[in-house]
Amino acid sequence: MKTIALLPVITYPEPNPEMVVPRAVAMAAALGVQLHALAINVEIRNISNALSRRLVDVPKMTREAEALCRDRGEAFLAKVVLEAKRAGVDSTTDAVASNAPLLNDTAAIQARYYDLVLCAWEPNNPTSRTTAQAIIFGSGRPTILLPEVEPARKLDKVAIAWDGSRVAARAVADAHHVLRRASKITVLTVTGEKSLQETDAAQRFAQGLNLRGLSAEAMPFVSEDCPVEVSLQERAIEIGADLMIMGAFGHTRLRDFVLGGATKGILSDVRLPIMLSH
């Protein structure tokens, strides 16, 4: 049975940059999955009237904007095909169109038809952030954020951010494909947190992974004068983790995202590839 990862690209208003393509292809290779790239182009409703046609020619502007998005999408998909072929990764591509207000919702809905999602993460690109949030909380699929770092060609070392919560357990369950490919798993637990109900949570979870035939160790630590999300990422980077797995706290209220503290921090500063699951 094939495992297929979706790489969505929204082309409006700020498109995801093509620089994410090599990162996504490398991650697909490391995961041993097929890559499906999907361009999500804008479809602008015709709101013109006689006055607007005389003064601005809104229909022409609409056609030009839609054509620009399609061109961006085609260029992105062509780059995916080229990079995937070079890396020996199976890939397919497609494109869909959606009204501007529904672009992120479309990405989340499309993601439900794949096993996992690879998302570009660019700190200065609002599109990448809103797309990632929509997919993490709306798709029901694990999502790997790909920041501006070179991904590993193999997932030798994987870190798990574990606090014993429901979302952490859900994230690990969604990451079985990743964990089976790792040669070493480190369970990171920040001690002294109010939400941590068990003092030996990391040890218990690592033991459970070892009983399942995986190679895991516990690494509880104290976060000193540093937000939890920063401490987790710094410790993961220190041990050489190629990927960190964690649960995502959050819900939507009136179409605005209300994020848990650590999740909000992670989505503000992604320092290594992170698999988030809600």
CATH number of the domain bearing residue 271 = 3.40.50.620
How does residue 172 score in pLDDT terms, banded at 50, 70 and 90?
A: very high
Does 179 fall in a domain? yes
Mean pLDDT along residues 7-16: 87
Neighbours of 80 (CB within 10 A): 28
Same structural domain, 110 and 135: yes
Mean pLDDT along residues 193-209: 80
Same structural domain, 138 and 185: no
Asked, as a colleague might, if the bond just before 17 is cis with ω within 30 of 0, I would say: no
28-67 pLDDT tens trace: 999 999 999 999 998 876 655 554 555 556 667 777 777 8
Same structural domain, 61 and 186: no
Domain extent, residue 108, equals 4-146
Domain termination site, one of 86, 119, 146: 146
**Number of independent structural domains in the chain:** 2
Q: Where does residue 250 fall: left (phi above 0), alpha (psi -120 to 50 degrees), or beta otherwise? A: left
Same structural domain, 114 and 19: yes
Same structural domain, 108 and 188: no
Residue 143 pLDDT exceeds 80: yes
Same structural domain, 207 and 79: no
Does 151 fall in a domain? no
Same structural domain, 181 and 141: no
Q: What is the largest CA-CA distance in the chain?
A: 73
Residue 77 pLDDT exceeds 90: yes
Does 265 fall in a domain? yes
Closest CA to 148 of 275, 10, 24: 24
Instruction: Enumerate residues 6+ apart whose C-beta is below 8 A from 49.
Output: none
Does 152 fall in a domain? no
Same structural domain, 134 and 169: no
Average pLDDT, the chain: 86
Does 101 fall in a domain? yes
Amino acid at 55: L
Same structural domain, 60 and 121: yes
Does 27 fall in a domain? yes
- Residues 94-133 as b/e (b if ≥16 CB within 10 A, e otherwise) read ebebbeeeebbebbbbbbeebbbbbbbbbeebebbbbbbb
CA distance 20 to 37: 12
Domain termination site, one of 78, 111, 146: 146
Same structural domain, 215 and 132: no
Same structural domain, 123 and 73: yes
Model pTM?
Answer: 0.88
How does residue 257 score in pLDDT terms, banded at 50, 70 and 90?
A: very low
